[in-house]
Structure 1
Amino acid sequence: MRLILIFAVLCFFYNETYGKVSLDIDKKLGTLNKPALKTIKSEDGDVIDCIDIYKQHAFDHPALRNHKIQMKPSVEFDTKKTTTPNNGSSKPITSQIWSKSGNCPVGTIPVRRVSRADIMRASSPSHFGRKTHHRYSFLDNALQHKANFNLTAERLREPLNNRSEAIIVALGFNFLGAQSDINIWNPQGVQAGDYSSAQIWLLGGVSNTFESIEAGWMVNQRVFGDSRTRLFASWTKDAYTKTGCINLLCSGFVQTSTKFALGATVEPVSILGGAQYFIAVSIYLDPNSGNWWLTCANNVMGYWPGILFNALKHSATAVQWGGEVYSPNLMMTKPHTKTPMGSGNWASTRWNRACFHTNLRIKDFSMQVKYPQYLSEYVDEHYCYSTRLFRDTYMSEPHFYFGGPGQNPQCP
C-alpha cells in the first residue's frame, strides 16, 4: 500500500511538472508560428511559412503595438566594394536553399517554422533562442578613456565567462553603421550545447546593461537541431538578461524582406583550399526614423526599431568584427570545448583556410563610409582561437582572419 501511495505521488508531481512544460511549449509554438498564407518545404528540411507582414511576431512587443512599418530605409549604407583577398577570389551568396522551392508573395515575409523538438532542446520555453547574460567591461573603460585612441582592446577588455571571442574592435567614435563581407564556412564538430558564429556587433551603453545588435552566420544545434550554417541576427537592451533573442524568436525585429529568411540555411560554404564564399552584411542607422537597418547579400532584411533601445537610440560606441563560441566549457574549465571558430583553422593560415572579414567599413557622424581609423585585435583564449589583420601590400585592402580549433594540446 505504501509503495502504491509513493507511486501515486510521484505520478502527480510528474504530470504537474511535465504537463505544465508541455502547455508552455504549446503556448510558445502558438506565439512563434503565425498563420501562414503559403508554406514552402525546403529541400534541406526547413519549413518556411509566408506570413502576413502586418501580423509578424515583432508586433507582439508592447512598444510596437501601434508601430507603423517602415518599408524601406530613407538612406542606404552607400559603399563601394574593393578587392577580394589575395591569391584568389570569393563569391557572394545571393539566395538561400529554401527559395529553390518557391517564393513568398508580396505582403508576406518568410519565417522558418519552429518545431516542438526545437523548443524542447532549450533549458525552458522562455529561454528558447536567447543568449545568456554577460558583460563587456571595456564599454565602461572606453567611455572613460574615449580620447585616448592608443588604448588597446587588451587593456580595455576582460574575458567573458561563457563565450570566447576573437575579434577586431573599433572604439573612440559614435558609429552610425558598420559592414563587412563575412567568409562563410561550416565548422565541423560544434558541440551539441554550444554555438559558433562569425558576425558583426554594434554596441552601446555600459557593461552590465549593454545594448547590442548583431548579424552574421552561426552553427547552433540547440536552436536549429542540426549543424548547418545559418543566417542570424540578434539584439538585446540589457546584456541578454531579459530582452532580445536571435532571429524572430522573440518580438522586436521588423522584417520587410520577402527573399531571405533569418535562421534559414546559407549555402554554398567555403571549401578548405578551394572555392570561397561570403555574405555581405551591413547594419546602419536611419537618421530620419531612428531605426537600425540590416542588409544581407544586398537584400534589405528589415530593422530594429529605435524605440527598443536607450543607448543605441542615436549611435553605437563600439563595433566588433570576428567570431564567437558559446560553451559552458571555456576559460578555466577543463576539458575545453572542441567547438571550433570560423573554419576551425588558425588565423595565421590565411586565405582559403581561415575564416575572414573583408571590406570592413564604418559610418560616423561625418556620414562618410570609411575604413576604421583605430582598430585593436583581441582574443579571449589565445591558445584556443586567434586573430590576424593582414594586408598583402601597404595599399591593398586589409583582411581580418580569425578562428581556431578550440581544444588542442595547448588548449587542453
Structure 2
Amino acid sequence: MGGVFVLRKPRNGNKCRRFDRCNTMRQTETELFLEETRERRRGRRRSFFLDMILLFRPCSYNILFLSLLLLSSSSSSETDNLSPRNQTLRPLEELNKLKAIQQHLRKINKPYIKTIHSSDGDIIDCVLLHHQPAFDHPRLRGQKPLEPPERPRGHNKRIGLRPKSFQLWSMEGETCPEGTVPIRRTKEEDILRANSVSVFGKKLRHFKRDTSSNGHEHAVGYVTGEKYYGAKASINVWAPKVQNQYEFSLSQIWIISGSFGNDLNTIEAGWQVSPELYGDNYPRFFTYWTNDAYQATGCYNLLCSGFVQTNSDIAIGAAISPSSSYKGGQFDVTLLIWKDPKHGNWWLEFGSGILVGYWPSFLFTHLREHASMVQYGGEVVNSSPFGTHTSTQMGSGYFAEEGFTKSSYFRNIQVVDWDNNLVPSPNLKVLADHPNCYDIQGGSNRAWGNYFYYGGPGKNPKCP
C-alpha cells in the first residue's frame, strides 16, 4: 500500500511464446496498474492508519499490534516520507480518535441477552430494562422503570396495527424477551459520519448559511399563550429525498418551554430521514430532548442517559414501514406526549396505545412544571450556500395545496390541559419560514378535527 506499482515483463524470456497468454498477462497487469492509480486519486476520507486498524478490528484492542503499526510507520523510507499523502498522516491523532470512538461505543452499547439482525442492516440488541443508557444517570442509577401512569381523559386507544407491523426489524416475527428493551446498536461507521464524538447523536441547531439563517427551515402549526401538559396528533409517514448526508428531513411534535436563548427546554418525537445519523434514507421513529437549547444536553433516541424506555416491542431509531405513497395508500402513526400528574414525568405513546417510555422530569428546568408552547410540523436542514437552496424534501415533497394522498398532514391535533384532559388545540396557527420552498395550510372538520397539510420540494423555480 502506498508504493509504486511497476509493470513487469514476463519472467520466462523476453518474448511470450503464446500470444493469448502474453496478452492476458499484459491486460491483467494494466488493469491492476489502473486500479491502483484510481485508488490513489480517489482520496479516501479516512487515513491509512485508521483503515488498517478497522481492517484488523479483532486486534484493535491489542496494544502490541498498535505499537508495531506505529513503529512500522516511523521506519518508512525517506522517499515514502516525502510523498504528499504521508505528509498529512497524523497517526497519534487518528489513534486517539479511534480510542474515543471505542470508549463511546462501550458506553452506549449495553450488554444484551439477544441480538436481532434486521433486513435493513440494523442490529437490534435486547437489553435488560435496568441496563439501558438512561440508568447511567446519577439520579436513576440502581432504580427500575416506573409503572405506566393514567392516560389523559378523552384519549381512546385505537385497535390497530401492533408494533411488529410497522418496524422492519420485527417483520419476520423476531421479538425481544419480556423484561428487555430493543436498542439499535451504534456502529463505528455511525460515529465516523459525525464531525466528532462529542456531537454524535445531537441536533446541531446552528448550521450557518448566511447572517440571517441558521440553516433550519420549518412549516409548523403551533399554540402558545397557555399552560400545556401534553400534545397528540396523527402524522402520515413519508420517505422524503434528502440531498446529502449533512441534511435531514423530519416531522414531529415539539413540547417547548423557556426562552429561545440558552435555557430552551424541548421534548420531541416523530419520524425523520437522516443519512448522517443512520447511514440510509429510511424514515425512522425518533425522540429528542434538550434543556439548554441544543447546546450540551440531550440527544436523539437512547444515545445518552435521559429517556427511559419501558416497551419491549418498539425500537427507537428503527425504520418505519410501510410509508405513504403519492396518489396511493396513506400510512400514519399517532403520537401522544403527556405529563404524568402524579410524578411529573413526560410519557410517550406511539401508535395504538403502545407506551414507549418517559423523560424524567429532573432532566428539565422549565418543563418540570409545564410547556408554554406546542409545535407540530416539519423541519429540514438546508446546507446549500447562500443564494441557492437545497432540494431536500419536507414531508411528501409536495406543497400543501396538493391535499390528501399527495401532501403530508397532521390530523386530530390536540393538547393536554391542566386537568389531564385531551382537548382540541385552541387557536392553532400555522407558519412557514420559506413558503416558496415549503408551505402549510390549516383547516378543521368533524372527521379530522384540527389539521393541516404541509411540506414541499425545496429547490424549485420559486425557491431559488
Measured against the shorter chain, the TM-score band is: 0.7 to 0.9
Indicate conservation of the 8 Å contact 1:168/1:375, yes or no.
yes
Gap change, CA 1:14 and 1:67, over 3 Å in 2: same
One-letter amino acid of the structure 1 residue matched with residue 420 of structure 2: M
Deviates more, 1:288-297 or 1:13-22: 13-22
Shift of 1:91: 8.5
Gap change, CA 1:261 and 1:16, over 3 Å in 2: same
Query: Equivalent residue of 2:420, what SS?
Result: coil
Aligned counterpart, 1:183: 236
Gap change, CA 1:19 and 1:106, over 3 Å in 2: same
Question: Does residue 147 of structure 2 align to residue 71 of structure 1?
Answer: yes
Gap change, CA 1:121 and 1:4, over 3 Å in 2: closer
Shift of 1:399: 2.1
Shift of 1:68: 4.0
How far apart are the structure 2 equivalents of 1:258 and 1:181? 22
How far apart are the structure 1 equivalents of 2:275 and 2:230? 30
Indicate conservation of the 8 Å contact 1:92/1:280, yes or no.
no
Question: Does residue 132 of structure 2 align to residue 56 of structure 1?
Answer: yes
Higher relative contact order (CA 8 A, sep 6+): 1
Using the size of structure 2 for normalisation, the TM-score is 0.77
Deviates more, 1:195-204 or 1:360-369: 360-369
Q: Deviations over 1:233-291 (max 9, x none)?
A: 00000001001111011111000000100000101000100110101101000111111
Query: Equivalent residue of 1:126, what SS?
Result: helix
Q: Deviations over 1:182-212 (max 9, x none)?
A: 1111112442210000110000011112000
Mapping of 1:97-246 within 5 angstroms? 97-101=168-172, 102-133=174-205, 161-208=214-261, 209-246=263-300
Q: Which of these residues, 79, 82, 91, is aligned with residue 15 of structure 1?
A: 91
Using the size of structure 1 for normalisation, the TM-score is 0.86
Query: Equivalent residue of 1:166, what SS?
Result: strand
Gap change, CA 1:365 and 1:16, over 3 Å in 2: same
Indicate conservation of the 8 Å contact 1:39/1:47, yes or no.
yes
How far apart are the structure 1 equivalents of 2:411 and 2:162? 12
Instruction: Name structure 1 gaps, 5 residues minimum.
Output: 84-89, 136-158
Shift of 1:57: 0.5
Shift of 1:77: 3.0
Shift of 1:66: 4.5
Seq. identity, %:
37
Higher strand share: 1
How far apart are the structure 1 equivalents of 2:414 and 2:368? 21
How far apart are the structure 2 equivalents of 1:160 and 1:91? 41
Q: Deviations over 1:351-405 (max 9, x none)?
A: 01010011101011133211011121111111110001124x5786232111011
Q: Deviations over 1:301-332 (max 9, x none)?
A: 000000101100011000000000023338xx
Deviates more, 1:364-373 or 1:201-210: 364-373
Indicate conservation of the 8 Å contact 1:282/1:294, yes or no.
yes
Shift of 1:67: 4.2
How far apart are the structure 1 equivalents of 2:303 and 2:365? 22
How far apart are the structure 1 equivalents of 2:214 and 2:88? 39
Shift of 1:92: 9.1
Gap change, CA 1:296 and 1:394, over 3 Å in 2: closer
How far apart are the structure 2 equivalents of 1:178 and 1:63? 27
How far apart are the structure 1 equivalents of 2:104 and 2:111? 14
How far apart are the structure 2 equivalents of 1:4 and 1:384? 51
Aligned counterpart, 1:87: none
Gap change, CA 1:82 and 1:276, over 3 Å in 2: farther
Mapping of 1:225-304 within 5 angstroms? 225-297=279-351, 298-304=353-359
One-letter amino acid of the structure 2 residue matched with residue 235 of structure 1: W
Query: Equivalent residue of 1:182, what SS?
Result: strand
Indicate conservation of the 8 Å contact 1:95/1:259, yes or no.
no
Whose Rg is larger?
2
Query: Equivalent residue of 2:355, what SS?
Result: strand
Gap change, CA 1:366 and 1:288, over 3 Å in 2: closer
Question: Does residue 427 of structure 2 align to residue 374 of structure 1?
Answer: yes
Query: Equivalent residue of 1:36, what SS?
Result: coil
Indicate conservation of the 8 Å contact 2:337/2:348, yes or no.
yes
Aligned alpha-carbon RMSD (Å): 2.7
How far apart are the structure 2 equivalents of 1:78 and 1:295? 14
How far apart are the structure 1 equivalents of 2:341 and 2:257? 17
Gap change, CA 1:352 and 1:60, over 3 Å in 2: same
